[in-house]
Amino acid sequence: MINSRLIGRRIIVFGSATGIGAATVARLVAEGARVCAADINFEGATKVAEAAGGETFAVHVDIADETSVTQAVNAVVERFGGLDGAHINAADLRVILQDSDALNVDLDVFDRTVAVNLRGHLLCTRAVLPHLLKNKASAIVYTSSGSAQGAEPTRPSYAMTKAGVNALMRHVASRWGREGVTANVLAPGFTVTGEMKSQMEANPEEAGKWADFFMARTPHTRLGESEDHAGVVALLLSDDGRWINGAIVDVNGGSLMRG
Ligand SMILES: NC(=O)c1ccc[n+]([C@@H]2O[C@H](COP(=O)([O-])OP(=O)(O)OC[C@H]3O[C@@H](n4cnc5c(N)ncnc54)[C@H](O)[C@@H]3O)[C@@H](O)[C@H]2O)c1
């Protein structure tokens, strides 16, 4: 065990079959938490839960669907007897390459992005909050993105939803902080997840261009990896992060700094 600061904590991670969410499940379990890996990709979430060990289990959820979210949260509460934390991390990234610009973006792409990345986060918040409020100290961590604060010529739908997640987080932090629920945002910069690594290996020339592009904007020795975020989420869900409320935590190697 890395440390024991999450022993006994009951946590759900929405969007946990791959990438940052999968790494977070492993990290939370390594710190002693009981974790539910929730994802639209149930097979992937099941593999993540099995690999993490402990009392981890997987549920299917489509966070754009209210009934599905309610069922997933009920399943965790039934299994663990309550809930102490939630990491709301899911985003539909299949459409991100079609998220061209404000003049040309297909409205179906925009609507799906809003349905998952924004409305879905509200649905998850509404489902977990009544359970979190039963405890004296509980926490929500949302995954937003540096794109909410940066300026980009592409992917307007994505950036708009991530800015909305930041606003939702601040609302929750200010409305329910006094009742014991903290809310914060993890804002990753460009992160090479395990899945991205495989794609990059399959197309090294294109991958090299992307890596060079992001490294040129990152005052660090390397690009980010999923595990860089998992430890920060664990901190925000633990007593070590108890006094952090309403914060956007940039985890990006310094790429958003102004020179
Ligand atoms: N990787 C990066 O460079 C980067 C940078 C900034 C922000 N982020 C954010 O980090 C989070 C995780 O991204 P990632 O890079 O690990 O990507 P990922 O695609 O590996 O992870 C997203 C997870 O969400 C799940 N998901 C998608 N739609 C869902 C739905 N409707 N209901 C439930 N689950 C659903 C996917 O199946 C997947 O497991 C996302 O919110 C993303 O926007 C990532």
Ligand 1 pocket: which of 18, 123, 198 to mutate (most atoms <8 Å of CB)?
A: 18
d(CA 69, CA 222): 36
- For residue 10, report the distance from its CA to the centre of ligand 1, in Å: 21
The binding-site residues of ligand 1, defined as CB within 6 angstroms of any ligand atom, are 14-15, 17-21, 39-41, 61-64, 89-93, 116, 120, 143, 145, 188, 190-191, 193, 195
What integer pLDDT is reported at residue 224 of this predicted model? Answer: 96
Q: What is the position in ligand 1's atom list of the atom closest to the CA of 15?
A: 24
Which residues participate in catalysis according to the annotation? 158
Instruction: Please report the pLDDT score of residue 252 as a whole number.
Output: 97
| Residue with the two structure tokens 């904590």 | 9
Report the nearest-CA residue for atom 42 of ligand 1: 91
Stated as kind and residue range, the H or E segment containing 58 is strand 57-60
Taking the centre of ligand 1 as the mean of its atom positions, its distance from the CA of residue 181, in whole angstroms, is: 24
Instruction: Please name which of 118, 7, 114 lies closest in space to residue 54, comparing C-alpha atoms.
Output: 7
| Rounded Cα gap, residues 82 and 112, in angstroms | 31
Is the pLDDT at 221 greater than 90, yes or no? yes
Q: What is the pLDDT of residues 183-217, one digit of tens each?
A: 999 999 999 998 888 888 888 888 888 889 899 99
pLDDT at residue 207, rounded to an integer: 82
Atom 15 of ligand 1: nearest residue by CA position: 19
Given its phi and psi angles, is residue 18 left (phi above 0), alpha (psi -120 to 50 degrees) or beta?
beta
Domains of the chain, start order: 10-190+227-251 (3.40.50.720)
The pLDDT tens digits of the residues spanning 102-128 come to 999 999 999 999 999 999 999 999 999
Lowest mean pLDDT segment, chosen from 24-28, 45-49, 202-206: 202-206
Calculate what percentage of the chain has a pLDDT beyond 90. Answer: 87
Residue nearest atom 28 in ligand 1 by C-alpha distance:
92
Largest distance between two CA atoms of the chain: 52
Q: How many CB atoms lie within 10 A of CB 254?
A: 11
What's the whole-number average pLDDT of the chain? 96
Going by CA atoms, what residue is nearest to atom 11 of ligand 1?
A: 89
